[in-house]
A and B are shown apart, each in its own frame.
Chain A
Amino acid sequence: MARTVLPFGPQHPVLPEPLHLTLTVDDEIVKEAIPKLGYVHRGLEKLAEIRDHTQMIQIVERVCGICSFLHALCYCQGIEALMKAEVPPRAKYLRVVWAELHRIHSHLLWLGLFADAFGFESLFMQFWRIRERIMDVQEATAGNRVIISTNVVGGVKKDIDKEMEKWILETLVKVEKEVNQLKTTILDDYTVKQRTVGIGVISKEKAYELGAAGPTLRASGIAQDMRQTGYAAYPELDFTPVVETDGDSYARTVCRFNEILQAIDLVRQAFAKMPEGELAFKPKGLPSGEVVSRVEQPRGEVLYYIKANGKKFLDRLRIRTPTFANIPPLLEMLPGCDLADVPILILTIDPCISCTER
């Protein structure tokens, strides 16, 4: 049969995100994939010209609807570096708590969507039910469910008191128990393994060469995690990156699953070591100079380039999100796979297109 060109997305029943790929298929085997970006471009970087540097915190939080706290964290760390602001220790630990809560809910969301992509709808609902507990924690601690707006330049706005801390730890015990109950279903089930093991293999060398980030990189055997660079309170916490070596869809699932358990552990450690004290340091003046700030998001490394000139508005704000880095590895995985596996492969990089296109 002659080659057929299929538009895949931006609107597609299996895709949670408007990713647009032009697939060339030959008898249901994908031969070529070409991405098109820009469907949900909103021009958020350009807004830096008309919103001052404190208002930009609220804008960068809206780059992504899942890992909003980590965008604000990355931006605030950049501005703090420019203004030479020292963040109080308690604020650093609170940042770790919220960052890890975001990681847990993002991975639970992904595991649900992934289960839905291979047709296991009841498992999808189980994961999302567990995720609801984390959403409640976020709403109770910060006032909003997803875009929690607790970061400010120099620290955090809200505190977590002892009573709330106890409730969060109790909730995490429940979450851990429920996630572990579903472990065998997502990781040992025959049908799940048939759809994931050996599909979309990307070797260690190739993943490194193509610049993969986050769990996509770590599932190929490279222990690279931006939390190792030691921002916030991570240097004081006991933590090693979760690494898998197979580099296939199954390895990426295992990697994300284990990261949930690791994140729960990190929240516990952060609460155990959290000192008392100030919440925020109020920096004086306006930022000037240029800086690159990096943070590990649930999907991988996010990079902010900030250039300021001592005025109210920033000169330039550039955001590079992990999904953008993970699109070249996806294009490497796609040729040679079945058309039916395309949705699964797209989901294994955990795409966030609204991040990518900003």
Chain B
Amino acid sequence: MFMTKTVLKNLLTKYATRLYPFQKIEPFKDAKGELKIEMEKCILCGVCKMRCPSQCISVDKKEKFWQVDPFACVYCGICVEACPVKCLYQESLYRPPADTKQMVCHIQEAKPE
């Protein structure tokens, strides 16, 4: 009986949920999403690799190679804060689901002398 007022109110107001694929919410400004890198800025120092609590980043200075396992990343943002040249950043959305696990690899191109 005590619920009647709430039920009537819910009948007369808008949906509390969104019709998701058609109506999407605007992400919050500082929402932590997918990890990205601007490879040309990267100095391959490996600080991100050392700080990462889930150890999802691997860096090879000789091969000029930077790799992240997006399925192991926990979106904590520690690497973004630790990066000395600020070449890492996070998108405001999570990465979309995928049916196969893949690594995200980047190889730095040789800089023109």
Contacts and interface: CB of A to CB of B under 8 A. Distances in A.
A57 B74 CA distance: 13
B95 to A, nearest CB: 15
Interface string A46-81: 000001001111110010000000000000000000
Interface residues of A: mostly helix, strand, loop or mixed? Answer: helix
A129 interface: yes
Contact of B6 (A55, A149, A157, A185): A185
A171 interface: no
Nearest to B7: A122
A58 B76 contact: yes
B51 interface: yes
B45 interface: no
B9 to A, nearest CB: 9
Contacts of A147: 74, 76
A158 B1 CA distance: 45
B78 A58 contact: yes
Contacts of B81: 157
B106 to A, nearest CB: 24
Given A51-B53, A59-B53, A144-B75, A123 B31 contact: no
A129 B53 CA distance: 33
A139 B76 contact: no
> Which bucket holds chain B's interface residue count?
20 to 34
A139 B28 contact: yes
A140 interface: yes
B32 A144 contact: yes
Given A126-B6, A188-B2, A58 B74 contact: yes
B29 to A, nearest CB: 7
Contacts of B51: 54-55
A189 interface: yes
Contacts of A58: 53-54, 74, 76, 78
Interface of B: 1-3, 5-7, 16, 28-32, 51-54, 74-78, 81
10 contacts: A122-B7, A123-B3, A139-B28, A143-B32, A143-B77, A149-B77, A149-B78, A157-B81, A181-B5, A182-B6
